[in-house]
Amino acid sequence: MTSLICTLQHHQDDVNWCAFSAKLLATCSGDKTLRIYDARDFSELPFSPLTGHGYSVHCCCFSNCGQFLASCSTDATTVIWSMVSGEIEAVLEHPGRSPVRICAFSPDSLHLVSGASDGTLALWDFPSRQLRRTGAVNDTTMVACSFSPCSQMFMTGSTYGDLRLWDLRMNQLHAEKNAHDLGISCCTFAPNILSGGQVVQFRVASCGQDSLLKIWAINKLSSGAYKMKLLHALNGQSAPVLSCAYSSDGQLLVSGSVDKTVTIYDAENAVLLYRLKQHER
């Protein structure tokens, strides 16, 4: 059973992303701001809203400890915020000054990846706030990124419709072309690592403009090669699926769609559990 706890209506434009830490909820918006709430009672923190971006804020994510929040914007920066004071800790300017559409912390909080509208990727050393490596996929926009639970690789998705797996040296380990027709919207690793025999397996969920939510298995073979296999293509929503996320224990998978619904699945069995219809657009 599900029930609506509260509705937060503080932003003045579309809410583009939301992220939980153990104690906080962060939201970011086209109104150039981020808002921070206590996850227990959803009261807004005294230092919220956070203002520092010059244009729309597309994505936000917490470091594993919850002490830092990263946000990225059309203003071509990824900003690091202190969740103790609400102050700006660092401003990371994306190479080439292209609008930054996505950012993601590694689970060990040692790295941060940002992806931009010109198809470029920047891998940052988070403790030093220094740029380590760059990469690119030509003729596309980076709109999705997620680190593996081991923090040693990350997946990206683009408007071209491909999913690409990278290591920390920015080498491509695997490319899944045409993973979603008309483009990717979001991708996320499950928090669990499965192992058996000569294979280590990761699970990844992705969604896109084809109105599908897909669950993939990524197998790392004893040879070091990676193979990616589609396990499920879920069609529980009738319009482009904009976002997806696993619960912290990996048991649930949630997606949000242009059809105004949020769907909640049993992640292991790909069974639809709930459809939430409280949004009006």
Q: What is the pLDDT of residues 8-20, one digit of tens each?
A: 999 999 999 999 9
Q: Report the distance separating Cα 119 and Cα 141, nearest Å.
A: 5
Average pLDDT, the chain: 96
1 against 25, higher pLDDT: 25
Q: Measured on CA atoms in the order 126, 130, 132, 138, is the torsion positive or negative?
A: positive
Domains of the chain are 11-136 (2.130.10.10)
Q: Report the distance separating Cα 74 and Cα 85, nearest Å.
A: 24
Q: CB under 8 Å to 143, separation ≥6 — which residues?
A: 101, 102, 115, 157, 158, 159, 183, 184, 185, 186
Q: Which residue has the tokens 């917490």?
A: 62
pLDDT single digits (tens) 94-129: 999 999 999 999 999 999 999 999 999 999 999 999
The pLDDT value recorded for residue 104 is: 98
| pTM recorded for the entire structure | 0.95
Sheet of 252-257: strand order equals 241-246, 252-257, 262-266, 271-276
Q: CB under 8 Å to 231, separation ≥6 — which residues?
A: 203, 215, 216, 217, 270
**Is 81 a residue whose pLDDT tops 90?**
yes
The pLDDT value recorded for residue 224 is: 84
Percent of the chain, pLDDT > 90?
95
Q: CB under 8 Å to 85, separation ≥6 — which residues?
A: 47
Q: Sort 45 into a burial class: Cβ within 10 Å, 0-12 / 13-18 / 19+.
A: middle
The pLDDT value recorded for residue 103 is: 98
Q: What angle do CA 97, 99, 103 make, to 5 degrees?
A: 105
The pLDDT value recorded for residue 195 is: 83
Residue 231: count of CB within 10 angstroms of its CB: 12
Q: Report the distance separating Cα 166 and Cα 192, nearest Å.
A: 19
Q: Report the distance separating Cα 197 and Cα 215, nearest Å.
A: 22
Confidence of residue 196 (pLDDT cuts 50, 70, 90): confident
DSSP secondary-structure letter at 197? T
